[in-house]
Amino acid sequence: MRTAMSEMIQAAQDALTTSIEQLDGRGRFHEDHWTRPEGGGGRSRVLQDGAVFEKAGCGVSMVHGELSKEAVAQMGGGQGLPADFPRTFFAAGISLVFHPRNPHAPTMHANVRYFERGDGSVPGSWWFGGGADLTPSYLYDEDVIHFHRTLQQACDRADPSFYGRYKKWCDDYFFIKHREERRGVGGIFFDDLRDRTPTQLLSFVKDMIHSVIPAYVPIIEKRGNQAYSDLEKNWQQIRRGRYVEFNLVYDRGTVFGLKTGGRTESILMSLPLTARWEYDHHPAVGSPEAALLAVLHTPRDWLCSETPRAS
Active-site residue (options: 30, 33, 104, 109): 109
Task: Based on the residue annotation, tell me whether 109 is a catalytic residue of this protein.
Answer: yes
> pLDDT by residue for the chain (311 residues), tens digit each?
999 999 999 999 999 999 999 999 999 999 999 998 889 999 999 999 999 999 999 999 999 998 887 777 766 666 677 878 888 999 999 999 999 999 999 999 999 999 999 988 888 899 999 999 999 999 999 999 999 999 999 999 999 999 999 999 999 999 999 999 999 999 999 999 999 999 999 999 999 999 999 999 999 999 999 999 999 999 999 999 999 999 999 998 888 778 777 788 888 999 999 999 999 999 999 999 999 999 999 999 999 854 444 44
Is 2.20.25.90 the CATH classification of the domain at 2-77+93-304? no
Q: Are the C-beta atoms of 87 and 72 separated by less than 8 Å?
A: yes
Global pTM value: 0.93
